[in-house]
Structure 1
Amino acid sequence: MNALNQVRETILNWIRAADQEEAYTWKGHAVRLLDGTTFRLQPTPDLLSTYGRASNGKGMSHWVVVKSLIACCLFSQTVIAFVEGGISEPAMVGKIMEQDPETDSIYIGDRAFGVYRVVQVAKFYGKKVLVRLEQRTARKLLKSSQKGSLYSGQKSQVIWKAEPTTKVEPGQPKYPLNGRIIYVQLRKKGFRPIDLYLFTNLMAPEVYSINELVELSGERWQVEVDYRYIKTTLKMEEFDVKTAEMFRKELAAGLLTYNWICALMTKAAIKAGIKPNKLSFSCCWRRVRDIWLQGVPQWVITENKLEDWLMTRLAKCRLSHQQNKVKHEPRKVRRRPQVFPALKGSRDLPIHRFLSDRGDRQAISKPNRRAKAFPLPVLLPAGSRLHSPLFLACRCGTGGEFFPVVPDSSLCQPEDLLDRLADTESCYLPG
């Protein structure tokens, strides 16, 4: 964490030296984007004892899934703080705010953070929050504060009190929390209207208007892109480690690498007079990696222009402008393919246990094009328990015919079968 703070301080020094503090703050506040994610690990004994095995409605999973929470800077995209191994996202917010040295910073979160516990922790550490509320939570707060229903574009001051069943931060008092509820109905042609309820402890309406707060809450989407850079570009979706200590080291090293690239992008953006999110992280990462591996030209070292040369190259990695581009959730468009395919059935049983009469007949009439190709026919050992002879669909090079192959107990001369398959292009195992 000290290394992350050093990167943050370096970026702040660059911003102050360029006299651009207003461009990297929102009304004098540093802005943090909260969001959680998961990392997948191998089911080793140490990892299982530390994090346990994940489960859902369908049962226990094979992988060890570790929950994590990060806070990213809205302007420089760097990771300010991170926590791993928590039970839930609201339970990890306290450790995130404890690591943040900035005072009076604003934390933006989605509906997962619109709970009493997050606002309670923010008040304890002197932070500001702007979180989205569930509709039932907002209406309950308005009712308990003896406020009527709101129309779109209206706000109301409320007092959030903890109930006996409310989850709170351990060791902190259950004091009432003052704040504002903002209600806006978002409408767009061709889509259903969306009821947006926001809670914030920014109490000055003349300074923080409704439109500005709603627009600021929409910037939370940027953290989804930051996660895409971390998990996809830097390939941190899975960790091939055996111990929890090594996982923490690799996670910290990966986030430090991400912050280092973001710091270089910020400095290049300051010199170019643009915002860092206008630069492509993937392109900047590739250029820095190539410089690492190939080195720099000799004239750059001779003339002592390494910094200017690097900043100029990174400033050219700009994102293309798409005028009609619609913001979307990049992690929900399409699920990323897994490194290891899903296991269907038990790996301890032979493959012929999964064959049936129906599957054999389908393999003859319509071969499975997605099946794995083998260079030679697969012959089962004698005595294999099959409901029907195993059919091996083979596509011949001349006529494209398919013929069955029975278990090798009935083959007196296996060489005859191989001679028959001399002109076979490829062989497929059904299923």
Structure 2
Amino acid sequence: MAVQTSFLPHFPHLLQGRAKPSLASLLARGIEHFRHLSLPDLSALIGPFFPQDFFSSAPDSKPLRESIYTPTTLFWAFLFQVLNPGMACQGVVAKVRAWLINRPLDPKRPSLRTGAFCQARCALSLPFVQAACEALRSKLTAQAPSAWLWCGREVKVLDGTSCSMPDTTRNQERWPQPPAQKPGCGFPVASMLGVFCLSTGAWLGHALGRWCRHDLGLWQQVSHLLKQGDVLLGDAGFCAWALMAELKARGVDTVLRLHQARPKDLGKGRSLGGHQCLQSWHKPKHRPGKCPWDARQWEALPEQLEVRIIKVPIERKGFRTHCVWIATTLVDAKGYGVEQIAELYHRRWSIELFFRDIKTTMKMDVLRCKTPDMIEKEILMHACAYNAIRLLILHSASAHGRELGRVSFKGALDVLREWLPRAALYADKPRKLEQWRDELLKAIASVMNPQRTGRREPRAKKRRPKTHQLLTQPRREFQEIPHRDKYRKAA
């Protein structure tokens, strides 16, 4: 008679083997994995940047119904679309379908029509995208080495920019076009105030407003991004008494270019020697009109502020000598020398390069979504993609001993686009995936910008545009001029 009881009951699977799974269990397992569908290449590379349980615990991460386009899938598809600006929704849908074709356990495949994807993307929760952006930002700022700080302090740089978007009725209501453009001939323009980390280039946050609104009017929406001990770096547009006084009361110092309305005179105040002096700025008697600070906030500001004024002569061979005037609340002349302050303000230009990476390299200067809600999501997805690339650059510079500011952002993005398809092959092979990541970081470390000290880069285009007419009337009323190649406007 055959023995039914195992002599080693604790190890039956080792001696007797495993039972072959049924077809029903395989199908159920495939459907369960299908519900958590995500683009394999991006999730294999950038997925480890998120907390382990992020996509199951993030706000609105649970789908309301069983669908191919779950919030997690939509996030990776949207991120893939942002990293490839020339790709339309049709290409993203085709990518998802091409991946599902290779998965025989999946019960159905999406249509190549883009309607379902666009509707699902519109339903993607804004808090979910904000949580993803916050997770990447926290990861990037937490991994910055302390050696990259300025005098042991974190510097955050502030500046404004603008971006255009499709000419739709809802976009025009939220962000109207400039009045100099005729109706039907312009595009909505949104003003954006951005805050970046100077050492890592991390996109910390932003605020959106109408094009006609001053950048300082958006300050209250980003003021929470600065914490005690930080240093705020900005241009003359932010050299306002209220801003400097508020931040000083919070333990945040400022380094700003002196506003043109302030007198450039070192004779006022107490001289500190070496083209610098210490002045006392008094609180204005009346709160200015259209002030971003309400009456309660204005009353809470101190009555007096100590400001250090520094005159920095700039001398370059072959150029006329000119001076830059800096106003700062770093009043300790011994702890923060003139050369250190001047070098820090010189690095303020880095935010212009950050905006160039975002608007020119990542093509965010012209947004593509047609509603204000989707515009906000599109900007947040650009922030996610930008910070993810900055995180890869940070890992590459740290691992290979490179200077962080010299690693090319565009070169890193080009390398990522070429190497990304290989990540899906190693998604289930941790060792090979780690080896692939090391090779990717090594390749990113090799794309270094050369030293270009004093290089002049005018904002001008060398290639001439086409000889097309400008649309100066609504499209239905516009009449094209024949032989326009030879047409010249009358003087």
Q: Fold match, TM over 0.5?
A: yes
**Structure 2 partner of 1:46:** 170
Amino acid at match of 1:65: V
For the structure 1 residues 124 and 313, does the alpha-carbon distance in structure 2 shift closer, same or farther, using more than 3 Å as the test? same
For the structure 1 residues 349 and 297, does the alpha-carbon distance in structure 2 shift closer, same or farther, using more than 3 Å as the test? closer
For the structure 1 residues 335 and 239, does the alpha-carbon distance in structure 2 shift closer, same or farther, using more than 3 Å as the test? farther
Contact 1:233 1:282 in 2 (8 A): yes
Q: Which runs of 5+ in 1 are unaligned?
A: 356-362, 372-431
**Structure 2 partner of 1:26:** 150
Which deviates further from its counterpart, 249-258 or 68-77? 68-77
Contact 1:75 1:275 in 2 (8 A): no
Contact 2:412 2:444 in 1 (8 A): yes
Q: Distance in 2 between matches of 1:105 and 1:252?
A: 24
**Structure 2 partner of 1:305:** 435
Choose from 154, 157, 169 the match for 2:293. Answer: 169
Q: CA deviation at 1:125?
A: 3.9
**Structure 2 partner of 1:159:** 281
2:196 maps to 1:66: no
Contact 2:281 2:307 in 1 (8 A): yes
2:255 maps to 1:116: no
Q: CA deviation at 1:238?
A: 0.9
For the structure 1 residues 197 and 286, does the alpha-carbon distance in structure 2 shift closer, same or farther, using more than 3 Å as the test? same
Cα deviations by residue, 1:377-411 (Å, 9 ceiling, x for unpaired): xxxxxxxxxxxxxxxxxxxxxxxxxxxxxxxxxxx
Q: CA deviation at 1:272?
A: 1.3
For the structure 1 residues 333 and 109, does the alpha-carbon distance in structure 2 shift closer, same or farther, using more than 3 Å as the test? farther
Q: CA deviation at 1:72?
A: 1.3
Q: CA deviation at 1:295?
A: 3.7
Amino acid at match of 2:445: A
Would you say how many aligned residue pairs link Structure 1 and Structure 2? Answer: 347
Choose from 102, 105, 113 the match for 2:230. Answer: 105
2:485 maps to 1:368: yes
Q: Distance in 1 between matches of 2:404 and 2:178?
A: 37
**Structure 2 partner of 1:391:** none
Q: Which runs of 5+ in 2 are unaligned?
A: 1-129
For the structure 1 residues 2 and 27, does the alpha-carbon distance in structure 2 shift closer, same or farther, using more than 3 Å as the test? farther
Where 2:485 maps in the other structure, the secondary structure is coil
Where 2:261 maps in the other structure, the secondary structure is helix
Choose from 410, 414, 417 the match for 1:289. Answer: 417
**Structure 1 partner of 2:313:** 185
Contact 1:266 1:275 in 2 (8 A): no
Q: CA deviation at 1:131?
A: 0.5
**Structure 2 partner of 1:236:** 364
**Structure 1 partner of 2:34:** none
Q: 1:238-387 maps to which residues of 2 (within 5 A)? A: 238-295=366-423, 301-302=431-432, 304-322=434-452, 325-326=454-455, 328=457, 332-334=459-461, 342-349=470-477, 351=479, 368=485
Contact 1:300 1:309 in 2 (8 A): no
C-alpha RMSD of matched pairs (Å): 3.3
Q: CA deviation at 1:334?
A: 4.2
Q: CA deviation at 1:335?
A: 9.9
Where 1:258 maps in the other structure, the secondary structure is helix
Q: CA deviation at 1:311?
A: 1.6
2:228 maps to 1:131: no
Q: CA deviation at 1:350?
A: 6.3
- The structure that is strand-richer by fraction is 1
2:332 maps to 1:207: no
Contact 1:116 1:168 in 2 (8 A): no
Q: CA deviation at 1:163?
A: 4.0
**Structure 2 partner of 1:424:** none
For the structure 1 residues 206 and 325, does the alpha-carbon distance in structure 2 shift closer, same or farther, using more than 3 Å as the test? closer
Q: Distance in 2 between matches of 1:121 and 1:37?
A: 24
Q: TM-score, normalised by structure 1?
A: 0.71
Q: Distance in 1 between matches of 2:430 and 2:448?
A: 23
Larger Rg: 1
Cα deviations by residue, 1:248-292 (Å, 9 ceiling, x for unpaired): 000000111001000110111011112221111111111112222
Amino acid at match of 1:94: Q
Larger relative contact order (CA 8 Å, sep ≥ 6): 2
**Structure 2 partner of 1:11:** 140
Which deviates further from its counterpart, 45-54 or 217-226? 45-54
Which deviates further from its counterpart, 124-133 or 339-348? 339-348
Q: Distance in 2 between matches of 1:295 and 1:304?
A: 10
Q: Distance in 1 between matches of 2:448 and 2:329?
A: 37
Q: Distance in 2 between matches of 1:199 and 1:119?
A: 10
Q: CA deviation at 1:67?
A: 0.2
Amino acid at match of 2:203: V
Contact 1:35 1:69 in 2 (8 A): yes
Contact 1:182 1:199 in 2 (8 A): yes
Contact 2:157 2:234 in 1 (8 A): yes
